[in-house]
Structures are given as C-alpha cells and as structure tokens.
C-alpha cells in the first residue's frame, strides 16, 4: 500500500437462487483469485450468499440455516487470505431479519453492516421480509465473538484508509449513508447492490456512483447482482463500478464470475479533503474497528494519464479549448472595461505563447466591439530572430487585422551592452536577459504612449520552471496565459487553426505549431533556431505531468516518479524521467521569487501559481528533502 494505493475489486459471481452452498463455492473461488491478483478489498453483491430474489423463502429456516453455514465456511477460508471481503448476508437477530453486508477478514467477521433504506415500490418488496438497520449500533454474538451490527461502522486501517458500507437503495435516497460515513472519516465506501436492469438504468447508476464519490471526496466500490438472479419479474446483469472522487476507474457491465479490479489512491483522497476546509468532520455515533493488511507493494494497473491537462477525447478537448479561450478573453475584457483602455500592446514573436495571447486579445476586443487595430502587436527582432518566426508573426497579425509594428532592438541592445561592459561574444545569461528586458521596455513605453495595457504571454509551465526573465517577459499589466500549461497552449492554438474561417490565419497557425519552442535569444545557425527550450529545461509534457501531481495533488517526488514511469513507459526511459523531475523540483523551488510578484491573470483550471490565490510559498524554501527522496526512489528503482 505504498504511496496510498490499495488494490480493490468488485465481483458478481454466478449463483443459484436459494442455494447458499453453491453460491458459497463461487464466492470462495473469486476470493482466492483475488488473493492471487493482490486484491485487498473485495465486494460481492447484495444478499450474494442466498440470492436477492428469494422472496418468501427468506421466511424459511432452512435457507437461513444454510446461509449461516455458508458464511462460516467463507470465514474459515478467509484465514488463509490477506483480504477484506464484503458478502451480502440475511442476518436474523432478536426475531427480526436484516439485509446485511458481512465484512470478513483473517478468519473473523469484523462487522455486519445493515441496510437502512428498504425499497417498497415498483418491483421491490423488501419490507415484507427485512427490518431497517437499527438507529444505533449494537454488539451481537456471532460464533462466540462480539460483532458490531448496524450502519454507522468504519473499519480503520490507517490515517488514509478507512472503509464503510451501504447497501443498494441507500445510494438512491436524497441523503445517502455514505455521505455521513465520509464525514466520519471513511475514504472508501462499498455498496453491495441488487439493482435490476432497465433501459437507461445502467448509465444512471454509473452517474450516481461517480457523483457520490465526488460529493464525498472518496472512493466508491459498487457490486451488482448477476444474471443468476430470478427472472420472474426482473433481469440482473452484474454491473460493477469502481470510482474515485468523480472519476470512474473501472466499469464493467454484464460481468459474471470475473474480478473488476483497480487501485484506489487513498493518499490523494486524504489530501483533497484536508485542503478543502469546507469538508466537515463528525464522528458521533460511529463504531471504529481497527484492522490491518500485510504491508506490500501494490502493482498498479489503473490508467495514469500522461497529459492530465489535456482531455484525450477530441470532442471534449475541443469543448475545453473553446471554454478556456472564452475565460481568458472574459478576464481581459473585464480588465479593459475597468481601466477604460481601448488598446493593448503585446510582443509577437511567432511562437506559441505570444500567438495565443494575440488570439485571446482579439477575442476580447470582439466581445467589446472594439476596433482590432487597438491590438498593437510588436515584433522585436534581435540576434536570434529567424526569418520563419518573424514572417509568421507578421502574417498572423495582418490576417487578424491588428496593428502590426516592427521595432528592431539590435542596436539598442548593443548600446546597452557597451554601457555595462557585456561582450557580444559572451553568450551568457546577461546576453539573453538583456534582450528580454529591452523588449519589455519597448512594450511598456509603447503602452504608456498609446494609453494601452501590456499583455503578458508567459504560460503556467514557464512560471513553474521560472523560465522567464525577471522584470523582462516575466512582467506585464495582465497575463492572459498565466493559468494555461504549455501542453494545453498547443491544443488551444490548434483548435483555432482548425475552426477559423480565415484560411491565411489557419495556415500560419499550423506553421507556428510545427515550430520548435524557443526564446530565440542566441544567434541563429544557418537561419534556423539554435536555442530549443525543451533541450535546455526538458520536455514540457513531462514538466506538466510533474506540475499537476506535485502542485495540484501534493504528491511526493517518489510517488510522482513512480507514476511517471508508468505514464511514459513507452516514451521516456527511467533516467530521462529522473533527470527532468530533478530539474523541475530544483527550478520550482529556486524560482519562486519570480512567482511572488506575478502580474494579475485569470485562473483557468485547478492550478494557478498566483501568490494571491492558490499558491503561497516562501521564496527561500529549501528543496533538499524533496530531492533526497527522489534520489532514494531512483536508487530503489535501479536495484
């Protein structure tokens, strides 16, 4: 369970209605299979020992006695397994019958979770046979042991792993028990269900499971009755769903005698809760039962998205791109209205970031019905500017109908270098930053002259790495790209290229998309870009992965490295990932001083590095423990 991961499974075994002996055999087979797969939590459907559709057979002592023997046999088998198993069981207590879920581990029944909400509508008649869960937990005698019986029960394994349960209809009511379980600390809720299949119901169930997991900021394991149930009036298909905080990790319909397996990240869930200060805590009335698993490494099979900022589905990606562009433009629109400005100034290099900033500026001007000539796009060639990028900048500006200007800064930079004694042959950081600061001076002074706002072009990934010249391109009057990571910038520009009616604009945008990312601060070689950003700081797809998992999820470096190895298994080797993760951590800490004084800019997604909103960090924080942990994880991996 290292890094908070635990392997879980849902299963819908074949069964014979009213035959606990047969059903027990199928349950045990799946328990043993789950053990081999490294599963630690296994959930079976509602009343899986007897079958849900027994009807008035639940009044028969023969059925109840047989189910008792079956549960005892299952409990006996559990002695051999490091597995927490939830089995649906009709519990008779004090002359009443209860629809329960028995939690079994290491040869013991840890608890009987009783169903609270018994449906008596449509095809359901549960109150005919069963009694709702008692309001307060009770201790009952089971095979000479005191076992907690009720619905307010939590099985506690660690600070981040706490498990509770509800049964079928409990999920469908306005105030599900799982909500209270989560408030009492449960990070995982299991649901044993017997929900019959109807047209459209499967998708509705998945939405319920997904939505409830999001609402409780927890994981939800749902196991539904299989086709072995009676078809007298209903049909069951064995739907199984595993969800985590609104995301469905695994879902299988028409499941029969198979394990639906995934891994739940309890560490992630715990983090999400404690940063959400509106998530309440109330443990009143709950029984906490302590148990444990044998410590082991959880082999991960769940999908690790290598591009967490970019939806894989093209339709969803296009929807997100349209939304982001609108949000960026709305942010700038408000700033223009507030300041009364009817002009903006931005540096247009022919690269991706400045292209996106120009597109956003034009969109904001269109929203305000302002003349696009109020958008002043300035290209500022110097030592490293190539013909390709300069040409693209001009063609794009002209196709959009904005005010395009060229200010060659070569001579002014040479004068400045002479003033400070900087050799033109010394390609040091001074050589590079001197150009960036001169460009910013041109933009700021032009803005003063025009009564305009300087639009910042730097993106979220560059801010994370500190890949900006302090008081150079680091500074602006409004940074429209500040909340957009580099991997998403590319798709935003591509979206515009594919959807615009302007053929010239589209052609130029596609050429910009194929141009290497570069600040163009070192002299070109044979007219081509000589300074490729990703050769210096590393691939942005890696850095955006690191950014998401370290900043958004607060994962440790060892966990991020482990996940990156899986996400980029066929793309980057372990040494490459280690090298650039180390670079990311080192730069992220050392460059915080630039983020401590960022200009305003709109928050677009779940991550912003603005010191006024989501990210507050001292500029002199030490990265040593993060780097040390990564180094140790790398050594462990190489063994």
1/293 Cα distance (integer angstroms): 9
Q: Is 27 in the same domain as 135? A: yes
Residue 300 lies in a domain: no
- Domain with 434, as residue range(s), is 314-638
271/144 Cα distance (integer angstroms): 40
Q: Is 331 in the same domain as 279? A: no
Residue 274 lies in a domain: yes
Residue 118 lies in a domain: yes
Q: Is 597 a catalytic residue?
A: no
What pLDDT score does 527 carry? 60
Domain-ending residue, one of 224, 258, 290: 290
Q: Is 286 in the same domain as 342? A: no
Q: Is 116 in the same domain as 183? A: yes
- For the domain that residue 549 is a member of, what is the CATH number? 3.40.50.620
**Annotated catalytic residue within 46, 166, 229, 438:** 46
Q: Is 352 in the same domain as 395? A: yes
Asked whether 164 and 186 are in contact (CB, 8 A), the reply is: yes
Q: Is 296 a catalytic residue?
A: no
What pLDDT score does 514 carry? 87
Q: Is 242 in the same domain as 387? A: no
Residue 241 lies in a domain: yes
420/435 Cα distance (integer angstroms): 13
Domain-ending residue, one of 255, 290, 325: 290
Asked whether 307 and 542 are in contact (CB, 8 A), the reply is: no
**Annotated catalytic residue within 7, 115, 494, 559:** 115
Q: Structurally, how many domains does the chain consist of? A: 2
What pLDDT score does 122 carry? 85
**Backbone dihedral region for residue 17 (phi beyond 0: left; psi -120 to 50: alpha; all else: beta):** beta
What pLDDT score does 253 carry? 92
Q: Is 254 in the same domain as 320? A: no
- For the domain that residue 192 is a member of, what is the CATH number? 3.60.110.10
Residue found under tokens 């199928």 = 26
What pLDDT score does 518 carry? 61
**Annotated catalytic residue within 24, 40, 162, 168:** 168
Q: Is 85 in the same domain as 161? A: yes
- State the DSSP string of 132-169: PPPSS-EEEEETTEEEEEES-EEEE-SSS-EEEEEEGG
pLDDT digits (tens, 9 = 90+) for 340-376: 999 999 999 989 999 999 999 999 999 999 999 999 9
The CA distances from residue 479 to 226, 351, 548, 551, 609, in Å, are 55, 16, 20, 20, 12
Q: Kindly report whether the global pTM for this prediction surpasses the value 0.85.
A: yes
Q: Is 468 in the same domain as 571? A: yes
9 φ, ψ (degrees, to nearest 5): -150, 150
The CA distances from residue 279 to 216, 265, 274, 579, in Å, are 9, 18, 8, 38
Residue 298 lies in a domain: no
Query: Residues of the chain whose pLDDT is less than 70?
Result: 517-533
Residue 101 lies in a domain: yes
Tokens for 46?
A: 């509602």
Residue 46 lies in a domain: yes
What pLDDT score does 352 carry? 93
Q: Is 457 in the same domain as 494? A: yes
Q: Is 476 in the same domain as 613? A: yes
Asked whether 610 and 601 are in contact (CB, 8 A), the reply is: yes
Q: Which DSSP helix (H) or strand (E) runs through 98?
A: strand 96-105
Residue 152 lies in a domain: yes
Q: Is 254 in the same domain as 187? A: yes
């Amino acid at each position: 369970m290292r890094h908070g991961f635990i392997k879980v499974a849902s299963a819908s075994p074949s069964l014979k209605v009213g035959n606990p002996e047969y059903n027990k055999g199928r349950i045990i087979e799946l328990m043993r299979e789950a053990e081999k797969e490294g599963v630690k939590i296994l959930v079976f459907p509602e009343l899986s020992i007897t079958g849900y559709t027994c009807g008035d057979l639940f009044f028969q002592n023969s059925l109840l006695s047989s189910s008792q023997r079956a549960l005892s046999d299952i409990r006996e088998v559990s002695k051999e397994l490091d597995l927490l198993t939830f089995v649906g069981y009709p519990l008779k207590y004090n002359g009443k019958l209860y629809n329960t879920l028995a939690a079994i581990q290491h040869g013991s029944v840890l608890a009987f979770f009783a169903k609270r909400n018994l449906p008596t509508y449509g095809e359901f008649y549960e109150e005919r046979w069963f009694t709702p869960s008692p309001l307060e937990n009770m201790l009952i005698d089971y095979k000479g042991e005191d076992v907690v019986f009720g619905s307010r029960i939590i099985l506690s394994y660690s600070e981040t792993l706490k498990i509770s349960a509800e049964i079928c209809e409990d999920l469908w009511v306005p105030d599900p028990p799982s909500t209270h379980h989560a408030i009492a600390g449960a990070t995982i809720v299991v649901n044993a269900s017997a929900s019959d299949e109807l047209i459209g119901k499967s998708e509705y169930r998945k939405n319920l499971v997904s939505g409830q997991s999001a609402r409780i900021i927890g994981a939800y394991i749902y196991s539904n009755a299989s086709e072995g149930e009676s078809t007298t009036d209903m049909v069951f298909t064995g739907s199984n769903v595993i969800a985590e905080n609104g995301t469905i990790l695994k879902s299988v319909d028409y499941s029969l005698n198979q394990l639906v397996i995934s891994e739940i990240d309890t560490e992630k869930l715990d983090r999400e809760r404690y940063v959400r200060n509106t998530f309440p805590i109330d443990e009143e009335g709950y029984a906490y039962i302590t148990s444990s698993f044998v410590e082991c490494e959880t082999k991960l099979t769940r999908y690790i998205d290598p591009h967490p900022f970019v939806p894989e589905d093209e339709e969803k990606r296009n929807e997100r791109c349209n939304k982001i562009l609108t949000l960026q433009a709305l942010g700038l629109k408000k700033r223009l209205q507030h300041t009364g400005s009817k002009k903006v100034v931005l540096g247009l290099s022919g690269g991706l970031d400045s292209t996106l900033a120009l597109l956003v500026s034009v969109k904001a001007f269109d929203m305000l019905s302002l003349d696009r000539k109020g958008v002043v796009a300035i290209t500022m060639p110097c030592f490293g500017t190539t013909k390709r990028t300069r040409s693209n900048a001009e063609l794009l500006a002209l196709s959009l109908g904005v005010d395009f200007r060229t200010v060659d800064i070569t001579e002014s930079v040479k004068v400045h270098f002479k003033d400070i004694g900087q050799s033109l042959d010394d390609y040091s950081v001074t050589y590079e930053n001197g150009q960036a600061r001169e460009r910013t001076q041109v933009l700021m002074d032009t803005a003063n002259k025009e009564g305009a706002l300087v639009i910042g072009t730097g993106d979220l990934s560059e801010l994370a790495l500190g890949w900006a010249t302090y008081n150079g391109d680091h500074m602006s009057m409004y940074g429209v790209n500040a909340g957009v990571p580099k991997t998403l910038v590319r798709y935003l520009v591509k979206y515009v290229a594919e959807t615009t009616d302007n053929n010239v604009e589209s052609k130029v945008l596609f050429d910009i998309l194929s141009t290497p990312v570069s600040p163009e601060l070192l002299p070109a070689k044979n007219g081509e870009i000589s300074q490729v950003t990703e050769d210096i700081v590393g691939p942005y797809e890696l850095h955006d992965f690191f950014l998401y998992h370290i900043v958004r999820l607060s994962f440790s470096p060892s966990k991020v490295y482990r996940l990156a190895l899986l996400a980029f298994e066929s793309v980057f080797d372990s040494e490459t990932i280690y090298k650039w993760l180390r670079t990311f951590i080192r730069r992220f800490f050392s460059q915080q001083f630039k983020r401590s004084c960022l200009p305003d800019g709109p928050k677009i997604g779940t991550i912003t590095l603005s010191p006024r909103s989501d990210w507050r960090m001292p500029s002199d924080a030490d990265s040593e423990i993060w780097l040390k942990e990564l180094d140790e994880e790398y050594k462990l991996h190489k063994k």
